[in-house]
Amino acid sequence: MITLEPQPAAKVRRPRVSLQVLRASLLLHTAFVIAQPIAAGYFLAGNVDAMTNVHSVLGGTIWMIALLQTVAAVCYAIGSRGRIWPALISVVLVVAEIVQLTFGYLQNFAVHVPLGTAIVGTVCWMTVWSFRRTARLSRQEAKR
């Protein structure tokens, strides 16, 4: 009598380190984008230095954090077989934040304020998603 032993299941490669790096970059990004409307609020309340010393300095830094987030998201998607959409949205955020910076310096608040609101919402949403269980799944597991 021949007995067949069950074959061990193929090891599924899941994002681990790349997800941790993506989470860290998203947390940093979230902190900076949430600080932006707070700094603008201080300016509107009469603290003139809040615009030049805080708001514009943070604005010049945020797109670089988004660029680091994009690198982390690409590593998560390609190197760890995680989802692809965080990398795509991160690229869109880099472009949106450069546009945001430009319209801020041009003082075109009709674009600057709603775009800033969209950026804050998107970054916060991505950060919350990154700590959910589904972020730990590989693309193959997520399709099931």
Report whether 9 contacts 102 (CB < 8 A).
no
At 6 the pLDDT is 64
**25, two tokens:** 């970059």
Inside any domain, residue 48: yes
Are 116 and 39 contacting, i.e. CB atoms less than 8 angstroms apart? no
Name the residue with tokens 């603008």.
Answer: 40
The total domain count for the chain is 1
What's residue 52's pLDDT? 86
Q: Which of 10, 15, 141 is nearest to 78 (CA)?
A: 15
pLDDT for position 117: 97
| Model pLDDT, residue 84 | 94
Residues 29 and 34: their CA atoms lie apart, in Å, by 9
Q: How far is CA 92 from the centre of its chain?
A: 10
Which residue positions in the chain have pLDDT lower than 70?
Answer: 1-15, 143-144
Considering the domain boundaries, does residue 142 fall inside one? Answer: no
| Residue range of the domain that includes 58 | 17-137
For residue 11, is it within any domain? no
**Residue 138 confidence (pLDDT):** 80
Q: For residue 84, tell me if it sits in a domain.
A: yes
Whether residue 9 lies inside any domain: the answer is: no
For residue 74, being part of any structural domain is answered with yes
Helix intervals (H) in the chain: 17-44, 49-50, 56-74, 85-105, 109-130, 139-143
